[in-house]
């Protein structure tokens, strides 16, 4: 569930009309949590479960896009965009990568601008037009107990050109799409990352995962030991300080049972495992 392709070398340093952010930190709070800043946005507190598919790149992208769509529309477009669409349909010239084998976060945001994303929530919710088609494994959700995990990567779902929710959906998929207006590869500068999140909402980042991260339960993560296992994409929700130690607040996609109710904290200001060097954001197209 770890592999995410980091920046395409051809796209390194590419900036496409991203948001303008302050260059001084006088207005930045010591603590910031997007869930508290924009409580009206249904997508921000959502924690998903990618199951046995390396689709964190698609979820972190779709989640951040959903957050920003709500925030920048003043809460008038309050929905959840489809990670399933990115996972299964981002192919061809703008290929995001290998689907359930891992993908490219930057190209996922480019896809949003060119093709748009329909709505779509988790497998359990069957929300929207095109929800996630891969069931959780090894846990019970509500009254449903899912089969044990097999520890194998599942095949990438096929790209459907129609809405697939088991609950039915009354809108044609192409009329359900929301589009991005810009994409931005943020520089490895804490101030710009914080400013973008505070002004426009959560962003996606990709970092290196080591053995010790797999043992994380709570606290501020700092890599100390173990071998590299791959890459993981997550959302930056905010930041804070704990006993003098600065941290990022991040949302994972391994279910609410993992970490701190699906989130984790990691050391801030040192580019821990590449967290600050691989941030991608963008703005939604409104109207």
* Domain contains 155: yes
* Domain contains 2: no
Collapsed DSSP state (helix, strand, coil) of residue 81: strand
For residue 202, give the nearest of 238, 170, 175, 233 by alpha carbon: 238
> For residue 256, what pLDDT band results from cuts at 50, 70 and 90?
very high
pLDDT over 80 at 13, yes or no: no
> Which has the minimum average pLDDT: 13-22, 36-45, 221-230?
13-22
> Which has the minimum average pLDDT: 6-10, 58-62, 116-120, 232-236?
6-10
Hunting for tokens 């044609």 — which residue is that?
A: 172
* Domain contains 287: no
Q: pLDDT of 153-163, one tens digit each?
A: 999 999 999 99
> For residue 170, what pLDDT band results from cuts at 50, 70 and 90?
very high
Global pTM reads 0.91
* Domain contains 3: no
> For residue 141, what pLDDT band results from cuts at 50, 70 and 90?
confident
* Domain contains 286: no
- d(C-alpha 167, C-alpha 174), whole Å: 18
The mean pLDDT of 54-64, rounded to a whole number, is 98
pLDDT of 281 reads 98
* Domain contains 4: no
* Domain contains 1: no
In order of 31, 52, 146, 157, the CA distances from 268 in angstroms are 12, 29, 36, 36
CATH number of the CATH domain containing 263: 3.90.70.10
pLDDT over 80 at 9, yes or no: no
pLDDT over 70 at 14, yes or no: no
pLDDT of 28 reads 80
The tally of domains found in the chain comes to 1
In order of 1, 57, 100, 234, the CA distances from 137 in angstroms are 12, 19, 15, 20
pLDDT over 70 at 6, yes or no: no
User: Please, what is the average pLDDT of the chain?
Assistant: 92
Residue 216 structural domain? 9-281
* Domain contains 102: yes
């Amino acid at each position: 569930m770890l592999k995410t392709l980091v920046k395409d070398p051809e796209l390194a340093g590419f900036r496409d009309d991203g948001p303008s952010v302050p260059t001084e930190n006088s207005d930045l709070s010591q603590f910031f949590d997007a869930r508290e800043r924009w409580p009206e946005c249904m997508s921000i507190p959502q924690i998903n479960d990618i199951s046995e598919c390396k689709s964190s790149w698609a979820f972190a992208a779709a989640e951040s896009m959903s957050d920003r769509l709500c925030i920048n529309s003043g809460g008038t477009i309050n929905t959840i965009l489809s990670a399933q669409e990115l996972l299964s349909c981002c192919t061809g010239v703008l290929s995001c990568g290998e689907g359930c084998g891992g993908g490219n976060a930057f190209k996922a945001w480019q896809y949003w601008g060119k093709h748009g994303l329909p709505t779509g929530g988790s497998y359990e919710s069957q929300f929207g037009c095109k929800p996630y088609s891969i069931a959780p494994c090894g846990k019970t959700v509500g009254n449903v107990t899912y089969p044990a995990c097999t520890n194998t990567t599942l095949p990438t779902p096929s790209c459907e050109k129609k809405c697939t929710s088991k609950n039915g959906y009354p809108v044609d998929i192409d009329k359900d799409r929301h589009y991005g207006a810009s994409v931005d590869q943020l520089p490895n500068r804490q101030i710009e990352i914080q400013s973008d999140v505070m002004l426009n909402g959560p962003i996606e980042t990709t970092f290196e995962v080591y053995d010790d991260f797999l043992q994380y339960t709570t606290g501020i993560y700092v890599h100390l030991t173990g071998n590299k296992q791959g890459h993981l994409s997550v959302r930056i929700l905010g930041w804070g300080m704990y006993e003098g130690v600065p941290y990022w607040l991040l949302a994972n996609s391994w279910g609410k049972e993992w970490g701190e109710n699906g989130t984790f904290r990691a050391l801030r200001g040192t580019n821990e495992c590449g967290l600050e060097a691989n941030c991608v954001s963008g703005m939604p197209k409104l109207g």
